[in-house]
Amino acid sequence: TDGHYLGATLDRNGLRPGRFYVTHSGRVIMASEVGVVDIPPEDVCRKGRLNPGMMLLVDFEKQIVVNDDALKEQYSLARPYGDWLKNQKIELKDVVASVHESDIVPPTISGVAPLSNDDADMENMGIHGLLAPLKAFGYSVESLEMLLLPMAKDGVEALGSMGNDTPLAVMSSREKLTFEYFKQMFAQVTNPPIDPIREKIVTSMQCM
C-alpha cells in the first residue's frame, strides 16, 4: 500500500491462499485462513478468495473495491501495447531472409584457433583457447558446471528441483542465448504435481 491504494494478488501458482471479506461497515479483511477475525454474518457484503493471477485493489480515496476485470482492463488500455508489439516484433524468418549466404560463415574470434576436424588439434587447443568463444556466445560458469558438465559426465540432461525466479530472457537487460528464449508450456517435473487443467483453483496459465 502507498496510503492511497491497497493491493493484493497471488502468484500464478496460487499455492498460498488469500481469502477476503468486504463488510457493510466499510472494512476489507484478508488473510490466508478463514476465521482470523470474527465477523457477524449479517455484516458480510461480499466474500471470496483470490484466484491465481487475480488482483484485489482497495481505493481509499473513492472508498471502493476495484473489480479484478476492471482493474486489468484499465491498465491494459493505458498504453497501445498491442500496436507496440505488432510494429516492433522481429520474426525469425525475417532474420534468416536478411542474411546472405556469404555472411553465414562465422567471423574469426581473436585468440581462438581455427576449427579443425583433427581431434588432436582440438585437444591441444586447451581451456584458454575455448574461453573466448564461450564468452562470445554467452556461456557462464553456471551453465558449464550445472548443465554441460553433467551431460558430459553422465550423458543425461541435468534436472533442477528449485524454482527459477530469474527474469525472462525477453525482459532481461543482459544478452541471452537463443535457446533461453524458448520455454516448455508446462512444468516437466514438480512435486507435488501442478496440473493447470485439473487444479484450476490453484494454477493459472493466463498471460497478460
Q: Are 204 and 12 in contact (CB under 8 A)?
A: yes
Q: Are 15 and 202 in contact (CB under 8 A)?
A: yes
Q: From 127, 123, 146, 124, select the one nearest 135 (Cα to Cα).
A: 127
DSSP secondary structure code for residue 75 in this structure: H
pLDDT digits (tens, 9 = 90+) for 192-201: 566 777 777 7
Q: Is pLDDT above 70 for 168?
A: yes
pLDDT at 88: 86
Give the global pTM: 0.49
Angle (CA) 26-27-32 rounded to 5° is 155
pLDDT digits (tens, 9 = 90+) for 59-114: 998 989 998 899 999 889 999 998 998 898 888 888 788 777 655 555 555 555 55
Burial class of 186 by CB neighbour count within 10 A (0 to 12, 13 to 18, 19+): exposed
pLDDT digits (tens, 9 = 90+) for 116-159: 555 555 566 666 677 777 877 778 888 888 888 888 898 887 77
pLDDT at 59: 92
Residues 6+ apart with CB under 8 A from 203: 12, 13, 14, 52, 194, 195, 196
